[in-house]
Amino acid sequence: MKRFAWLAALVAFIALTVAAIVGAGWSGFIAWMLQSPLWFAQVAADLVVSLSLVLAWIVLDARQRGIAAWPWVVLTLCTGSIGPLLYLALRAGAGDAVAAITQPTRLRA
């Protein structure tokens, strides 16, 4: 079920991205940047902070799972949120069950 939810989020985000590119084109993004550089700077800074936090988590999670993190880092740097959404979609499911079996659980007080 988790995998389906993440895949649905990924497909929806890709559809939104494609619609923005088709509807306004890359020039629409550049025109928005030039029209309001202060808001663009704020949105860009927020995106950098958010994706940096997500990338830090992906690197730690990938190391714990014994998989290479660098493809996810590169994909995220090139596609933004599409990279982490794809990572979460592929990570969900069987991998979680294996991790639950191989990692010790904490005792609850």
- CB proximity list for 32: less than 8 A, separation 6 or greater: 40
User: Is there a domain that residue 109 lies in?
Assistant: no
In terms of residue numbers, what domain contains 61?
2-102
- Count: domains in the chain: 1
Instruction: Examine residue 108 and state whether it is found in any structural domain, yes or no.
Output: no
pLDDT score, position 21: 85
6 neighbors 93 (Cβ within 8 angstroms): no
How do residues 64-92 score in pLDDT, each as one tens digit? 999 999 999 999 999 999 999 999 999 87
pLDDT (tens digit per residue) in 37-74: 888 888 889 999 999 999 999 999 999 999 999 999 99
In a domain, 27, yes or no: yes
Residue 11 falls within a domain, yes or no?
Answer: yes
